[in-house]
Structure 1
Protein backbone atom coordinates (compact mmCIF):
# COMPACT_ATOMS: atom_id res chain seq x y z
CA UNK A 1 0.00 0.00 0.00
CA UNK A 2 1.53 3.37 -1.04
CA UNK A 3 2.40 5.82 1.71
CA UNK A 4 -0.08 8.66 2.13
CA UNK A 5 1.01 12.01 0.68
CA UNK A 6 2.02 14.38 3.47
CA UNK A 7 0.54 17.83 3.34
CA UNK A 8 3.60 19.60 4.73
CA UNK A 9 7.26 19.18 5.58
CA UNK A 10 9.45 20.72 8.27
CA UNK A 11 12.13 22.87 6.68
CA UNK A 12 15.62 23.76 7.89
CA UNK A 13 14.53 27.37 8.47
CA UNK A 14 15.04 27.96 12.20
CA UNK A 15 13.22 30.48 14.34
CA UNK A 16 15.52 33.50 14.87
CA UNK A 17 15.06 33.40 18.66
CA UNK A 18 14.27 29.71 19.32
CA UNK A 19 16.53 27.69 16.99
CA UNK A 20 14.96 24.32 17.93
CA UNK A 21 11.76 25.47 16.19
CA UNK A 22 11.54 25.25 12.40
CA UNK A 23 9.20 26.51 9.71
CA UNK A 24 6.72 24.28 7.93
CA UNK A 25 6.17 24.25 4.16
CA UNK A 26 3.04 23.04 2.39
CA UNK A 27 3.60 20.16 -0.05
CA UNK A 28 0.06 20.29 -1.45
CA UNK A 29 -2.81 22.78 -1.53
CA UNK A 30 -4.14 22.70 2.03
CA UNK A 31 -6.93 25.28 1.96
CA UNK A 32 -7.92 28.44 0.07
CA UNK A 33 -5.10 30.42 1.68
CA UNK A 34 -2.33 27.84 1.55
CA UNK A 35 -1.08 26.60 -1.81
CA UNK A 36 1.71 24.07 -2.31
CA UNK A 37 5.06 25.68 -1.48
CA UNK A 38 3.64 28.13 1.07
CA UNK A 39 5.82 28.63 4.13
CA UNK A 40 4.02 28.52 7.47
CA UNK A 41 4.84 29.14 11.09
CA UNK A 42 7.07 27.17 13.45
CA UNK A 43 6.83 23.74 15.07
CA UNK A 44 9.04 21.63 17.29
CA UNK A 45 8.06 18.34 15.64
CA UNK A 46 5.57 16.84 13.22
CA UNK A 47 3.39 15.97 16.22
CA UNK A 48 2.52 19.67 16.60
CA UNK A 49 0.58 20.03 13.31
CA UNK A 50 -1.72 17.33 11.96
CA UNK A 51 -1.03 16.04 8.45
CA UNK A 52 -4.82 15.75 7.96
CA UNK A 53 -7.50 18.38 7.39
CA UNK A 54 -7.16 22.05 6.52
CA UNK A 55 -5.41 23.11 9.73
CA UNK A 56 -2.35 25.33 9.38
CA UNK A 57 0.12 27.44 11.33
CA UNK A 58 0.55 30.82 9.62
CA UNK A 59 2.91 33.78 9.80
CA UNK A 60 5.18 33.74 12.89
CA UNK A 61 2.90 31.52 15.00
CA UNK A 62 4.48 28.78 17.13
CA UNK A 63 3.16 25.38 18.20
CA UNK A 64 5.61 23.47 20.41
CA UNK A 65 5.96 21.00 23.27
CA UNK A 66 3.05 18.55 23.20
CA UNK A 67 0.61 21.11 21.80
CA UNK A 68 -1.39 20.10 18.71
CA UNK A 69 -3.16 21.96 15.90
CA UNK A 70 -5.63 19.71 14.05
CA UNK A 71 -8.82 19.46 11.92
CA UNK A 72 -9.64 22.93 10.47
CA UNK A 73 -7.99 25.05 13.16
CA UNK A 74 -5.58 27.89 12.45
CA UNK A 75 -2.88 29.84 14.26
CA UNK A 76 -2.02 33.28 12.85
CA UNK A 77 0.26 36.26 13.48
CA UNK A 78 2.46 35.79 16.58
CA UNK A 79 0.29 33.33 18.49
CA UNK A 80 1.67 30.58 20.70
CA UNK A 81 0.47 27.08 21.64
CA UNK A 82 2.59 25.09 24.07
CA UNK A 83 2.51 22.49 26.86
CA UNK A 84 -0.39 20.12 26.00
CA UNK A 85 -2.77 22.66 24.47
CA UNK A 86 -5.15 21.34 21.80
CA UNK A 87 -6.34 23.67 19.04
CA UNK A 88 -9.01 21.77 17.13
CA UNK A 89 -12.31 22.07 15.23
CA UNK A 90 -12.55 25.47 13.53
CA UNK A 91 -10.79 27.40 16.31
CA UNK A 92 -8.52 30.30 15.33
CA UNK A 93 -5.86 32.21 17.27
CA UNK A 94 -4.82 35.73 16.22
CA UNK A 95 -2.46 38.53 17.25
CA UNK A 96 -0.47 37.59 20.41
CA UNK A 97 -2.94 35.09 21.87
CA UNK A 98 -1.58 32.07 23.75
CA UNK A 99 -2.86 28.57 24.55
CA UNK A 100 -1.09 26.83 27.42
CA UNK A 101 -1.45 24.01 29.92
CA UNK A 102 -3.98 21.29 29.09
CA UNK A 103 -6.50 23.66 27.53
CA UNK A 104 -8.76 22.60 24.67
CA UNK A 105 -9.95 25.18 22.15
CA UNK A 106 -12.60 23.56 19.96
CA UNK A 107 -14.15 26.61 18.31
CA UNK A 108 -14.24 30.40 18.34
CA UNK A 109 -11.59 33.10 18.12
CA UNK A 110 -8.82 33.90 20.58
CA UNK A 111 -7.21 37.26 19.82
CA UNK A 112 -5.31 40.30 21.09
CA UNK A 113 -3.27 39.29 24.16
CA UNK A 114 -5.77 36.75 25.46
CA UNK A 115 -4.45 33.67 27.23
CA UNK A 116 -6.27 30.36 27.54
CA UNK A 117 -4.57 28.10 30.10
CA UNK A 118 -4.88 25.35 32.69
CA UNK A 119 -7.81 23.01 31.99
CA UNK A 120 -9.79 25.63 30.10
CA UNK A 121 -12.29 24.59 27.43
CA UNK A 122 -13.48 26.96 24.70
CA UNK A 123 -16.30 25.50 22.63
CA UNK A 124 -19.32 26.19 20.46
CA UNK A 125 -22.89 25.92 21.72
CA UNK A 126 -24.32 22.41 21.35
CA UNK A 127 -27.68 23.90 20.35
CA UNK A 128 -26.81 26.39 17.59
CA UNK A 129 -23.05 26.11 16.97
CA UNK A 130 -22.33 29.74 17.95
CA UNK A 131 -18.83 30.24 19.33
CA UNK A 132 -17.04 32.53 21.82
CA UNK A 133 -14.66 35.40 21.19
CA UNK A 134 -11.89 35.66 23.79
CA UNK A 135 -10.08 38.97 23.45
CA UNK A 136 -8.26 41.84 25.15
CA UNK A 137 -6.10 40.83 28.11
CA UNK A 138 -8.32 37.90 29.09
CA UNK A 139 -7.07 35.00 31.17
CA UNK A 140 -9.37 32.00 30.81
CA UNK A 141 -8.93 28.93 33.00
CA UNK A 142 -12.55 27.69 33.04
CA UNK A 143 -15.12 26.69 30.42
CA UNK A 144 -16.70 29.09 27.92
CA UNK A 145 -19.30 27.63 25.58
CA UNK A 146 -21.59 29.47 23.16
CA UNK A 147 -22.00 33.10 22.14
CA UNK A 148 -19.78 35.15 24.45
CA UNK A 149 -17.37 38.04 24.18
CA UNK A 150 -14.89 37.66 27.03
CA UNK A 151 -12.43 40.41 27.97
CA UNK A 152 -12.01 39.35 31.55
CA UNK A 153 -10.79 36.67 33.96
CA UNK A 154 -12.51 33.27 33.99
CA UNK A 155 -11.31 31.29 36.99
CA UNK A 156 -10.68 27.53 37.17
CA UNK A 157 -13.96 25.69 37.72
CA UNK A 158 -16.08 28.54 36.31
CA UNK A 159 -18.49 27.27 33.66
CA UNK A 160 -19.99 29.83 31.31
CA UNK A 161 -22.56 28.23 29.01
CA UNK A 162 -24.83 30.23 26.71
CA UNK A 163 -27.62 28.10 25.20
CA UNK A 164 -29.25 31.14 23.52
CA UNK A 165 -28.67 33.32 20.43
CA UNK A 166 -28.21 36.39 22.68
CA UNK A 167 -24.68 37.73 23.10
CA UNK A 168 -23.21 37.78 26.61
CA UNK A 169 -20.34 40.22 27.19
CA UNK A 170 -17.92 39.89 30.10
CA UNK A 171 -15.58 42.86 30.40
CA UNK A 172 -13.79 44.52 33.31
CA UNK A 173 -15.75 42.50 35.89
CA UNK A 174 -19.05 43.60 34.38
CA UNK A 175 -21.59 41.47 32.52
CA UNK A 176 -23.93 42.66 29.78
CA UNK A 177 -26.28 41.08 27.28
CA UNK A 178 -27.20 42.03 23.71
CA UNK A 179 -30.58 40.47 23.02
CA UNK A 180 -31.07 39.18 19.51
CA UNK A 181 -34.18 40.76 17.98
CA UNK A 182 -36.65 38.19 16.76
CA UNK A 183 -39.73 38.86 14.63
CA UNK A 184 -43.04 37.23 15.42
CA UNK A 185 -43.76 34.72 12.69
CA UNK A 186 -47.03 32.94 11.92
CA UNK A 187 -47.21 29.19 12.53
CA UNK A 188 -46.43 26.94 9.59
CA UNK A 189 -50.07 25.92 9.16
CA UNK A 190 -51.30 29.54 9.09
CA UNK A 191 -53.02 30.28 5.72
CA UNK A 192 -50.85 32.68 3.73
CA UNK A 193 -53.64 34.47 1.85
CA UNK A 194 -55.69 35.25 4.93
CA UNK A 195 -57.00 38.83 5.00
CA UNK A 196 -57.02 41.05 8.03
CA UNK A 197 -60.44 41.64 9.56
CA UNK A 198 -61.78 45.15 9.03
CA UNK A 199 -61.99 47.30 12.08
CA UNK A 200 -65.45 47.13 13.58
CA UNK A 201 -67.50 50.23 13.02
CA UNK A 202 -68.28 52.21 16.09
Structure 2
Protein backbone atom coordinates (compact mmCIF):
# COMPACT_ATOMS: atom_id res chain seq x y z
CA UNK A 1 0.00 0.00 0.00
CA UNK A 2 2.76 2.41 0.98
CA UNK A 3 4.56 1.51 -2.25
CA UNK A 4 1.50 2.44 -4.34
CA UNK A 5 1.11 5.74 -2.51
CA UNK A 6 4.80 6.51 -3.09
CA UNK A 7 4.52 5.71 -6.81
CA UNK A 8 1.40 7.86 -7.13
CA UNK A 9 3.14 10.74 -5.38
CA UNK A 10 6.12 10.45 -7.72
CA UNK A 11 3.84 10.41 -10.78
CA UNK A 12 1.96 13.48 -9.57
CA UNK A 13 5.26 15.29 -8.97
CA UNK A 14 6.44 14.39 -12.47
CA UNK A 15 3.16 15.63 -13.98
CA UNK A 16 3.43 18.91 -12.09
CA UNK A 17 7.01 19.37 -13.31
CA UNK A 18 5.95 18.59 -16.88
CA UNK A 19 3.13 21.16 -16.67
CA UNK A 20 5.53 23.80 -15.33
CA UNK A 21 8.06 22.99 -18.07
CA UNK A 22 5.33 23.17 -20.74
CA UNK A 23 4.26 26.62 -19.49
CA UNK A 24 7.87 27.85 -19.57
CA UNK A 25 8.33 26.59 -23.15
CA UNK A 26 4.99 28.12 -24.21
CA UNK A 27 5.91 31.50 -22.70
CA UNK A 28 9.32 31.43 -24.40
CA UNK A 29 7.71 30.69 -27.78
CA UNK A 30 5.18 33.51 -27.28
CA UNK A 31 7.98 35.94 -26.37
CA UNK A 32 9.99 34.91 -29.44
CA UNK A 33 6.94 35.38 -31.68
CA UNK A 34 6.28 38.80 -30.13
CA UNK A 35 9.92 39.87 -30.62
CA UNK A 36 9.80 38.57 -34.20
CA UNK A 37 6.61 40.56 -34.87
CA UNK A 38 8.18 43.72 -33.45
CA UNK A 39 11.32 43.29 -35.56
CA UNK A 40 9.22 42.59 -38.64
CA UNK A 41 7.47 45.95 -38.19
CA UNK A 42 10.77 47.82 -37.94
CA UNK A 43 12.94 48.90 -40.84
CA UNK A 44 16.03 50.09 -39.00
CA UNK A 45 18.07 49.74 -35.83
CA UNK A 46 20.04 52.34 -33.89
CA UNK A 47 23.83 52.27 -33.82
CA UNK A 48 25.74 54.23 -31.19
CA UNK A 49 28.20 56.70 -32.67
CA UNK A 50 31.22 57.47 -30.49
CA UNK A 51 31.57 60.95 -31.97
CA UNK A 52 27.98 62.03 -31.45
CA UNK A 53 25.23 62.05 -28.83
CA UNK A 54 22.91 60.88 -31.59
CA UNK A 55 22.50 57.41 -33.08
CA UNK A 56 23.17 56.31 -36.62
CA UNK A 57 20.35 54.42 -38.33
CA UNK A 58 20.99 51.14 -40.14
CA UNK A 59 18.41 49.54 -42.42
CA UNK A 60 17.41 45.96 -41.55
CA UNK A 61 15.29 45.46 -44.67
CA UNK A 62 14.98 46.77 -48.23
CA UNK A 63 12.57 49.66 -48.83
CA UNK A 64 12.43 52.49 -51.37
CA UNK A 65 15.98 53.13 -52.55
CA UNK A 66 17.43 51.86 -49.26
CA UNK A 67 19.01 48.42 -49.05
CA UNK A 68 19.32 46.16 -46.03
CA UNK A 69 22.54 47.03 -44.20
CA UNK A 70 22.72 50.63 -45.45
CA UNK A 71 23.97 53.10 -42.84
CA UNK A 72 21.98 56.32 -42.74
CA UNK A 73 22.17 59.62 -40.90
CA UNK A 74 21.54 60.49 -37.26
CA UNK A 75 18.54 60.52 -34.95
CA UNK A 76 18.11 61.04 -31.22
CA UNK A 77 15.28 58.50 -30.79
CA UNK A 78 13.01 56.27 -32.84
CA UNK A 79 10.22 58.85 -32.71
CA UNK A 80 12.35 60.97 -35.07
CA UNK A 81 12.03 58.54 -37.99
CA UNK A 82 8.93 56.49 -38.74
CA UNK A 83 9.22 52.76 -39.41
CA UNK A 84 6.27 53.12 -41.81
CA UNK A 85 6.73 54.17 -45.44
CA UNK A 86 10.01 54.76 -47.29
CA UNK A 87 11.15 57.82 -45.33
CA UNK A 88 14.86 57.83 -44.57
CA UNK A 89 17.71 59.95 -43.28
CA UNK A 90 20.81 59.81 -45.48
CA UNK A 91 24.47 60.78 -45.30
CA UNK A 92 25.24 63.00 -42.29
CA UNK A 93 21.78 64.52 -41.98
CA UNK A 94 20.36 64.86 -38.45
CA UNK A 95 16.87 64.70 -36.97
CA UNK A 96 16.64 65.30 -33.24
CA UNK A 97 14.68 66.75 -30.32
CA UNK A 98 11.04 66.23 -31.39
CA UNK A 99 11.61 66.63 -35.10
CA UNK A 100 9.88 63.86 -37.06
CA UNK A 101 10.04 62.33 -40.52
CA UNK A 102 7.13 60.36 -42.01
CA UNK A 103 5.76 58.98 -45.26
CA UNK A 104 8.33 58.90 -48.06
CA UNK A 105 10.20 62.04 -46.99
CA UNK A 106 13.99 62.22 -47.34
CA UNK A 107 16.53 64.10 -45.26
CA UNK A 108 19.92 64.21 -47.02
CA UNK A 109 23.48 65.50 -46.97
CA UNK A 110 24.04 67.74 -43.91
CA UNK A 111 20.45 68.91 -43.46
CA UNK A 112 18.98 69.21 -39.96
CA UNK A 113 15.44 68.84 -38.63
CA UNK A 114 14.76 69.58 -34.98
CA UNK A 115 12.45 71.32 -32.51
CA UNK A 116 8.88 70.17 -33.26
CA UNK A 117 9.26 70.23 -37.04
CA UNK A 118 7.39 67.67 -39.17
CA UNK A 119 8.61 66.44 -42.54
CA UNK A 120 5.91 64.50 -44.40
CA UNK A 121 4.85 62.79 -47.61
CA UNK A 122 7.41 63.12 -50.47
CA UNK A 123 9.24 66.22 -49.30
CA UNK A 124 13.04 66.49 -49.44
CA UNK A 125 15.36 68.43 -47.14
CA UNK A 126 18.97 68.45 -48.30
CA UNK A 127 22.35 70.17 -48.50
CA UNK A 128 22.73 72.41 -45.41
CA UNK A 129 19.06 73.32 -45.08
CA UNK A 130 17.46 73.51 -41.63
CA UNK A 131 13.85 73.04 -40.59
CA UNK A 132 12.92 73.65 -36.97
CA UNK A 133 10.46 75.21 -34.55
CA UNK A 134 6.97 73.93 -35.42
CA UNK A 135 7.49 74.17 -39.17
CA UNK A 136 5.84 71.64 -41.48
CA UNK A 137 7.08 70.51 -44.88
CA UNK A 138 4.92 68.19 -46.98
CA UNK A 139 3.74 67.25 -50.45
CA UNK A 140 6.63 67.32 -52.93
CA UNK A 141 8.25 70.39 -51.39
CA UNK A 142 12.04 70.74 -51.48
CA UNK A 143 14.22 72.72 -49.08
CA UNK A 144 17.89 72.89 -50.07
CA UNK A 145 21.19 74.81 -50.06
CA UNK A 146 21.29 76.88 -46.84
CA UNK A 147 17.60 77.72 -46.73
CA UNK A 148 15.83 77.72 -43.36
CA UNK A 149 12.18 77.17 -42.47
CA UNK A 150 11.14 77.71 -38.86
CA UNK A 151 8.55 78.90 -36.32
CA UNK A 152 5.08 77.92 -37.65
CA UNK A 153 5.85 78.20 -41.35
CA UNK A 154 4.46 75.67 -43.85
CA UNK A 155 5.89 74.70 -47.21
CA UNK A 156 4.00 72.22 -49.38
CA UNK A 157 2.79 71.27 -52.83
CA UNK A 158 5.62 71.57 -55.38
CA UNK A 159 7.22 74.56 -53.65
CA UNK A 160 11.00 74.97 -53.60
CA UNK A 161 13.03 76.96 -51.09
CA UNK A 162 16.75 77.34 -51.74
CA UNK A 163 19.78 79.61 -51.60
CA UNK A 164 19.79 81.47 -48.27
CA UNK A 165 16.04 82.02 -48.24
CA UNK A 166 14.10 82.13 -44.96
CA UNK A 167 10.48 81.17 -44.37
CA UNK A 168 9.15 81.83 -40.87
CA UNK A 169 6.37 83.20 -38.69
CA UNK A 170 3.04 81.80 -39.91
CA UNK A 171 4.02 82.10 -43.56
CA UNK A 172 2.89 79.60 -46.19
CA UNK A 173 4.62 78.79 -49.46
CA UNK A 174 2.88 76.28 -51.69
CA UNK A 175 1.72 75.20 -55.16
CA UNK A 176 4.78 75.58 -57.44
CA UNK A 177 6.15 78.75 -55.82
CA UNK A 178 9.92 79.26 -55.57
CA UNK A 179 11.71 81.33 -52.93
CA UNK A 180 15.46 81.71 -53.39
CA UNK A 181 18.64 83.72 -52.82
CA UNK A 182 18.22 85.85 -49.65
CA UNK A 183 14.48 86.38 -49.93
CA UNK A 184 12.30 86.18 -46.82
CA UNK A 185 8.65 85.25 -46.38
CA UNK A 186 7.27 85.78 -42.88
CA UNK A 187 4.40 86.96 -40.64
CA UNK A 188 1.14 85.69 -42.21
CA UNK A 189 2.30 86.09 -45.79
CA UNK A 190 1.36 83.58 -48.49
CA UNK A 191 3.37 82.87 -51.63
CA UNK A 192 1.65 80.56 -54.09
CA UNK A 193 0.95 79.70 -57.74
CA UNK A 194 3.74 80.45 -60.24
CA UNK A 195 5.40 82.98 -57.94
CA UNK A 196 9.16 83.47 -57.80
CA UNK A 197 10.58 85.42 -54.87
CA UNK A 198 14.32 86.09 -55.03
CA UNK A 199 17.10 88.58 -54.37
CA UNK A 200 16.53 90.48 -51.11
CA UNK A 201 12.74 90.53 -51.41
CA UNK A 202 10.72 90.48 -48.20
CA UNK A 203 7.12 89.28 -48.23
CA UNK A 204 5.43 89.94 -44.90
CA UNK A 205 2.35 90.82 -42.84
CA UNK A 206 -0.80 89.57 -44.61
CA UNK A 207 0.52 89.78 -48.17
CA UNK A 208 -0.67 87.21 -50.68
CA UNK A 209 1.51 86.77 -53.76
CA UNK A 210 0.42 84.73 -56.78
CA UNK A 211 1.65 84.66 -60.38
CA UNK A 212 4.33 87.26 -59.68
CA UNK A 213 8.10 87.61 -59.79
CA UNK A 214 9.55 89.77 -57.03
CA UNK A 215 13.27 90.31 -56.66
CA UNK A 216 13.86 93.49 -54.71
CA UNK A 217 10.60 94.82 -53.31
CA UNK A 218 9.13 94.72 -49.85
CA UNK A 219 5.55 93.50 -50.12
CA UNK A 220 3.32 93.62 -47.06
Which category of TM-score, normalised to the shorter sequence, fits these structures?
0.7 to 0.9
Stretches of 4+ aligned residues off by more than 4 angstroms = none
Q: How does 1:34-45 map to 2 (within 5 A)?
A: 34-45=66-77
Matched with 2:123 is 91
Q: TM-score, normalized by length of structure 2?
A: 0.71
Residue 143 of structure 1 and its aligned partner are, at CA, apart by 0.5
Matched with 1:140 is 167
Could you tell me how far apart the structure 2 residues matched to 1:58 and 1:84 are?
20
CA displacement, residues 149-198 of structure 1 (integer Å, 9 cap, x when unaligned): 10110012112232xxxx32100218528xxxxxxxxxxxxxxxxxxxxx
2:87–2:103: 8 Å Cα contact kept in structure 1? yes
Q: Which has the higher helix share?
A: 2
2:48–2:54: 8 Å Cα contact kept in structure 1? no
Residue 13 of structure 1 and its aligned partner are, at CA, apart by 2.3
Matched with 2:104 is 72
Supply the RMSD in Å over aligned alpha carbons. 1.5
Could you tell me how far apart the structure 1 residues matched to 2:64 and 2:49 are?
23
| Number of aligned positions between the proteins | 163
**Which runs of 5 or more structure 1 residues have no equivalent in the other structure?**
125-130, 178-202
Q: TM-score, normalized by length of structure 1?
A: 0.77
Q: How does 1:108-187 map to 2 (within 5 A)?
A: 108-124=141-157, 131-141=158-168, 142-151=171-180, 152-162=183-193, 167-172=194-199, 173=201, 176=213
